[in-house]
Amino acid sequence: MLQRVLDSKVPKFVTTGGPQLELTTFSRSAVTLTVNILTSTGVVTRTIPVAALLVGEAFLIPVTEIPTSVFVTPTTSTRDGDLYLRLAFIAGGVTSGVLWAGYCSSLRPLAWPPDLHASQLQQRGNLFSAVTANPAPGADLVITVPTSARFRFLSIRATLTTVGENTPLISATFNDGINNIFRLTSPLVHPAAVARTYEFIARSTKNDIAFNANLEIELSMPEIELPEAATVTLSGQDADDDWGTAISYVEALIE
């Protein structure tokens, strides 16, 4: 029998019949999980090898009582969306209820109760403006995520001064350090023999593409999250065109 004690901030249960935790895994690849179980008597650690099974694989972990908290962390790198876990409590041979279910990765471990955070990436980060210095004329403007940081890009703003040649399409390419994962491209071509200064704006709150009398080019983008050393490259300039300083409004987290 399972009875919940409601006079505590952390859910607690009274059990009989050899309680167990049941961890069910759905994984795209083989991975090893480290399970840390905190109880009133201390911490119990289990290592679980998980096969690449999308149909589900269940593991039973004997416990003496309902844990105070449970943390499950993949010991090998896993991507978001590749590993789904379901944590349940069994008493008297009967599954008494699902404690937690959701996707888990090496960056975002499982944490129960759900108001606990096993990773700094499970919370909102610090909002601030990141400034990237202007490059030499003719060079791309490259925004780089610093070491030990992870950026969620909310907006990017930069100016491009042309000298009169026909400028190709202006674009922003998001690279996660391995692949180009997203690209914004302006549908506008700069007219020949006209020197102009454009303001390039990409932001998640814009729902259309605009080109107005102030020479602003606005493009909509999703909130894109990039790890350390990843880059956003602004390009499309001719040899003598000059990018100015870029200001990125980001949500920064500790990687």
Pick the last residue of a domain from 119, 141, 173: 119
Do 133 and 55 lie in a common domain? no
Do 27 and 146 lie in a common domain? no
Do 24 and 112 lie in a common domain? yes
| Phi, psi dihedral angles at 74 (to 5 degrees) | -65, 130
Least Cα distance to 13 among 117, 112, 119 occurs for 112
Percent above pLDDT 90 for the chain: 14
In this structure, the dihedral spanned by the alpha carbons of residues 8, 99, 110 and 41, taken in order and rounded to 10 degrees, is: 50
- Residue 158 CA to residue 164 CA, distance in Å, equals 19
Do 106 and 138 lie in a common domain? no
Do 111 and 166 lie in a common domain? no
What pairing do the DSSP bridges indicate for beta strands 126-132 and 246-254? antiparallel
**How sure is the predictor about 214, in pLDDT bands with cuts at 50, 70 and 90?**
low
The tally of domains found in the chain comes to 2
Can you give 48-79 as a three-state secondary structure string?
A: EEECCCCCCEEEEEECCCCCCEEEEEECCCCC
Q: What pTM was computed for the model?
A: 0.59
Do 194 and 223 lie in a common domain? yes
- pLDDT score at 229: 92
pLDDT by residue (tens digit) across 5-33?
A: 333 333 344 444 578 888 888 888 888 88
Buried b (16+ CB within 10 A) or exposed e, 30-51: ebebebbbeeeeeebeeebebe
pLDDT by residue (tens digit) across 40-77?
A: 888 888 888 888 777 778 888 888 877 888 888 888 76
- Residue 19 CA to residue 87 CA, distance in Å, equals 13
Contact 19, 91 (CB under 8 A): yes
Pick the last residue of a domain from 68, 102, 119: 119
pLDDT by residue (tens digit) across 105-127?
A: 877 788 887 765 545 555 566 78
Do 149 and 47 lie in a common domain? no
Domain span holding position 90: 3-119
Pick the last residue of a domain from 63, 91, 119: 119
Least Cα distance to 186 among 163, 164, 226, 156 occurs for 156
The CATH number given to whatever domain includes residue 112 is 2.60.60
